[in-house]
Structure 1
Amino acid sequence: MPEYIIGQDIPRGGVSSLSKFHGKEVAFFSDRAGTVTLDKEQLGSYSISAPNSKCFANPFGWNTKLGYKNYTPKVFKAHESTIDNFLKSLVQLSKTQSSNVKLSSYKVFCPSSFFQYISVKRQSRFYILWYNNRYIIASNETREGQNVLMSYAGIRFEDLLTHGTTQKTINNYNLYESVIETKINGLNCLYCAEIDSFDKESEAYTEIKMVLCKSNLPHAKTTNKKSVLKSLSKGNVYFGSFLFRLLIQCKFANDLKVVIGIRDQSFTIRNITEFSVEDDLLPFFHQLYPEYYEKYMASMELIQRVFSTIINQVTRENPVFYLEIGSQYTLKSVDSVSERRRILERFMPSEFISLVDSFD
């Protein structure tokens, strides 16, 4: 089993800063239905209601853990594909007359988590498949062992903002994904990124996050954004890491705004603030967390370095590898023919294989 350790030293200033990265949305689909659309009718906008000034401890009347015992989180089975609906949606996109997307020109298909996890060095595994001069990259993350309460509370907060208190949070099966095109090492790439909501006025994609603040809780009516961010940096020792992951996620999903709900240890929402990624979060991040900011700016160079190793090693002769992200970045080949076939069948639906076969 050939194994390749990929260098991870980040150069000062970054050879290719993330600010130069550009991704353009070309389609949109529901992850549960797998049906491509070219509009955003099913994606909800959010509404931040005025707080109940009579109750400081629970100003919005929201405790996001209520109801979690009836929650059924999505868990992928060992043989289930994590990229299935994305690839099936591309098949449908190829049949959409109103689409100008020429799928045959793309050489890489992957989830945005591939870029995110490399950037933040999150422990994970991705399968890399070579098929007809294309690279298909799929996550092996099944969501097993997830903290059900934390998963529920985050989804519940999203539902409260986008649907109000009348809708119950039952599961996290129905996700909305943006299909985005970009270039990686000169190769045309299509990837999918989950979208939480959008701002109705500007139609800007918006990430919704909830974060714990143990102390220095800002008042519900506090609207000074710098003040809110300073409270979080004092009340959560991991806020720098949180911002790093959040901003990487926003960059690859084309999120221009972020709505952050600040909760206390009882999972009660104490403050909700909307931030501009460019005008609010990045300047604060740059000023208070320079080490994380340097990693953020250099993350594109790191992605390119990893992908350079992939395109050099994953070939017709050696078509199946997996990338292990942990203490280091390790690319390992799958040598067993039967195992290769199993992985191919797991991650590539027959409809997509037929589509790729028709390209050449």
Structure 2
Amino acid sequence: MNIRVLTIFPTFFSSCLGEGLLGKAADKGLVNVAAVNLRDYATGRHRPVDDVPYGGGAGMVMKVDVWAKAIEAARRELPGARVVLLTPQGPKLDEQTALRLARETSLVFCCGRYEGVDERVAEHLVDEWLSIGDFVLTGGEPAALAAIDAIARKLPGVIGKAESVETDTFTAGLKHPAYTRPPEFRGWRVPEVLLGGNHAAIEDWRRRESLARTARLRPDLAAGAAASRVRLAVRDPEPWLLEPLAAAGRAYGLREVVCAVVDPDRRRALRETAGDLVKVTGPLDAALRKRPKERLFHLADRPGPGQAPLAEIAARLAAATDGATIVWGGEPPRKAVSAAPALPGEAASPLALFVWLERLFSGR
């Protein structure tokens, strides 16, 4: 991957990017990061990159013409590059964003300063905005460095073991506790299961500890971490719904999407168009009887008393170590926890289902 950083402080990046795994990745040719001095594209004796804001006010604003020259030069050097503006007003960087940007062949990061960049840069010259959190820095350089580190570790070969990336915190919930020698220190012992050599028991302990820690410390991530153990079951869906259901299943990492169809002819027709993730079965009750240990949830198609809010559903999913099935449509199965709909005004619509899934598994 080729990365260019447009900045007025190019030396900011040299020491950090030359050390550790990023330095080794650069030596291997896996990632090539170069910081470009924005002042090289300014004119005049002092090569100014900022000016007073129209309408008055405190601070200075970075000039659109300078940015235009720098960004266009970067696009010529790296055809097809995605240009990212670091700004606290952008969407927050998370693991999914890092994975998405790691699929690009080239990236250009734009580091603002002062009171920010001329709005025309943000509107017309970049492809997206990106923030690393709800706080303000003195400039975009630290944010760019954090983004580069998060993205680069997703590239094949940068991290020695792919398993380290696959089990990262946020990729599979919060990471489980880790210990090393000595086995006891000041009376604080390493859990016995880690010392016994039973790898199946160790993996089970780590999975359960990861889920428990996620539910306790970051309940907003709990449901997303549990998604790989969740089936979505939909009763008698219309044929056009199969593709959106499959897309939702892939997006959230669900274990399976089950379409329960009573009529045999409709069932055969749907099986011909269903993809790998979507499983077309007979009546739902029969499918549920095969999984007696799984927890059951039902997304109500109308608001009503006793329905669990989203936060409670997320916590229960995180605790469902033997798996769970979320049912949409029709009456709730026996022993199912009823979940309040996301859009009470049109709770029975497919839109309500997809909004609810997004809020549940994305923590939004």
TM category (shorter chain) comes to: under 0.3
Q: Which has the larger radius of gyration?
A: 2
> Whose relative contact order is higher, 1 or 2, with alpha carbons under 8 Å and at least 6 apart?
1
Q: Under a length normalisation based on structure 1, what TM-score does the superposition of the two structures give?
A: 0.24
